[in-house]
Amino acid sequence: MKYTPINKSFFIQNRRKLAERLDASSIAVFHSNDVYPTNADGTMPFRQNNDLFYFSGIDQEDTILIVFPDSVEAKYKEVLFIIETNEHIAIWEGNKLTKDKARELSGIETVFWFHEFDTVFKQLAYDATTIYCDQNEHARAEKLIDTRNDRFIQSCKTNYPLHTFKRLAPISNALRSVKDPAEIDTIRKACDITKDAFARVLKTIKPGVREYEIEADIIYEFVRKGSRGHAYQPIIASGANACVLHYIQNDQVCNDGDLILMDFGAEYGNYASDLTRVVPVNGKFTSRQKEVYTAVLNVFKEIKKIIKPGVTLQELNIQTGKLMTRELLQLNVLKQEDLEKPNGEQAYKRYFMHGIGHHLGLDVHDVHVKNEPLKEGMVITLEPGIYIREENIGIRLENDILIVSNGNIDLMEHIPIEIDQIESIMHS
Ligand code: GLY
Ligand code: MN
Ligand code: MN
């Protein structure tokens, strides 16, 4: 394992909180993700299902977790199923978790082999009246293929048609949105690795370098620091590419006089970080680039001051719209008459077309309860941007912000963001 695992007490506590929220006489089931095929005998790298990980700590394929708080037999209140290893797997893939190691990681005493699931579940299901199943309920998730959880729901509804079925996502989303200190430490570690990668690229960016060379420096730093890689596909966008919000080709030459927008973040122990910085390819901002950068930084700083418990992301977005309008007028990008047209207060959206931030955790766009005000322990991104296609300037600045009782802590405060800091590092 490349990362130091979170202590099992965290996963024990998560299951306790889950058990408190389940209806009486109910059984909850979580499945790991598939190992997805590519072509021939190739596969994608395995990525654990985040809910299964959150409630078990097991980061291995072919894993199932059962939580059955009202089980009459105490040993079935929590049950884990893991893949049974064999000589063939040991030779080709190396060691898988033993039952003892799975107990040590998860704090679950009852561990079966994966292939025993159907038999054990059948015994338990008839002692419960409700089956809680897990599904990805992210509003923007494209449902192109069925996950193991999806297939389980279908088979369960066929095999146990007289049970009541309930959704786990509302419970897991609410629990996962507020981070435990152990999770915050892990996110901090991801942020620190991201910081090191930014420091590395500041030394190598120069006119003529290709965007993918910068990407290569980033992944080099990530992997050597114990990250499995990018928390999401990195955006390394020079010049006009920076105005393409999800630009991931990263294949163009960085030209003298252009800016380069870099949106990247290390994952660590399954947790994400999410940074955006924009620097001049030749190490010196032009005066116009400085003006636009400063406008974005002004919004960043003003919104940061109001991030605290009780505020909603919608309120932050409304305030951002007002500040963006002010800055865009100042930049002469918006004109007073634009504001006087119908929906003039939305005119800024032509130059800032995404939200001011999102929750961050096991997912980059992390799960949460819709419209819920911010609470202590939540982590969100703060990412204002201005994209002026007419001028080939796209600037976004993004840090990860922890909500604390009296306001917030910027987990990326140590990553250079001021114009003079960036210029002086690039010239040193
Ligand atoms: N990198 C994805 C985002 O900033 O939301
Ligand atoms: Mn983001
Ligand atoms: Mn980002």
Buried b (16+ CB within 10 A) or exposed e, 157-170: eeebeebeeeebbe
Residue 1: pLDDT band by 50, 70, 90 thresholds? confident
Identify residue 7 by its one-letter amino acid code. Answer: N
Tokens of 129: 């009246």
Cβ of residue 383 lying under 6 Å from some atom of ligand 1: yes
Cβ of residue 400 lying under 6 Å from some atom of ligand 1: no
In contact, 400 and 255? CB cutoff 8 Å? no
pLDDT at 227: 97
Mean pLDDT of 301-315: 98
In contact, 318 and 345? CB cutoff 8 Å? no
**Residue 353 and residue 348: Cα distance in Å, rounded?**
8
pLDDT at 286: 98
pLDDT at 124: 98
Evaluate if residue 131 carries a pLDDT over 90: yes
Identify residue 134 by its one-letter amino acid code. Answer: D
Cβ of residue 366 lying under 6 Å from some atom of ligand 1: no
pLDDT at 46: 96
**Residue 246 and residue 352: Cα distance in Å, rounded?**
14
Q: What is the pLDDT of residues 8-32, one digit of tens each?
A: 999 999 999 999 999 999 999 999 9
Residue 160: pLDDT band by 50, 70, 90 thresholds? very high
pLDDT at 243: 95
**Residue 70 and residue 77: Cα distance in Å, rounded?**
7
265 Cα nearest atom in ligand 1: 1
Show the beta-strand stretches assigned E in 137-265: 164-167, 229-230, 235-238, 259-264
pTM across the whole model: 0.97
**Residue 212 and residue 370: Cα distance in Å, rounded?**
36
Residues with CB under 5 A from ligand 3 (ion): 263, 274, 276, 398
Evaluate if residue 90 carries a pLDDT over 90: no
In contact, 313 and 356? CB cutoff 8 Å? yes
In contact, 299 and 320? CB cutoff 8 Å? yes
Cβ of residue 245 lying under 6 Å from some atom of ligand 1: no
Evaluate if residue 87 carries a pLDDT over 90: no
Evaluate if residue 93 carries a pLDDT over 90: no
pLDDT at 89: 84
Residue 143: pLDDT band by 50, 70, 90 thresholds? confident
In contact, 258 and 392? CB cutoff 8 Å? yes
Q: How far, in Å, are 96, 114, 145 from residue 53 at the CA level?
A: 16, 16, 21
Cβ of residue 267 lying under 6 Å from some atom of ligand 1: no
For ligand 1, mutation pick of 230, 250, 300, 358 (most atoms within 8 Å of CB): 358
Tokens of 136: 């990805």
As beta bridge partners, residue 37 has 43
Tokens of 12: 């024990």
**Residue 285 and residue 280: Cα distance in Å, rounded?**
5
Tokens of 266: 């290390």
Sign of the dihedral through C-alpha 55, 58, 64, 70: negative
Identify residue 16 by its one-letter amino acid code. Answer: R
- Cβ neighbours of residue 96 under 8 Å, at least 6 residues apart? 60, 82, 83, 85, 89, 90
C-alpha atoms less than 13 angstroms from C-alpha of 113 in its C-beta half-sphere: 6
Mean pLDDT of 234-250: 96
Residue 233: pLDDT band by 50, 70, 90 thresholds? very high
Mean pLDDT of 149-174: 98
Helix residue ranges, H only, 178-285: 181-204, 211-224
pLDDT at 95: 84
Tell me the domains of the chain and their CATH numbers. 8-176 (3.40.350.10), 181-427 (3.90.230.10)
Cβ of residue 274 lying under 6 Å from some atom of ligand 1: yes
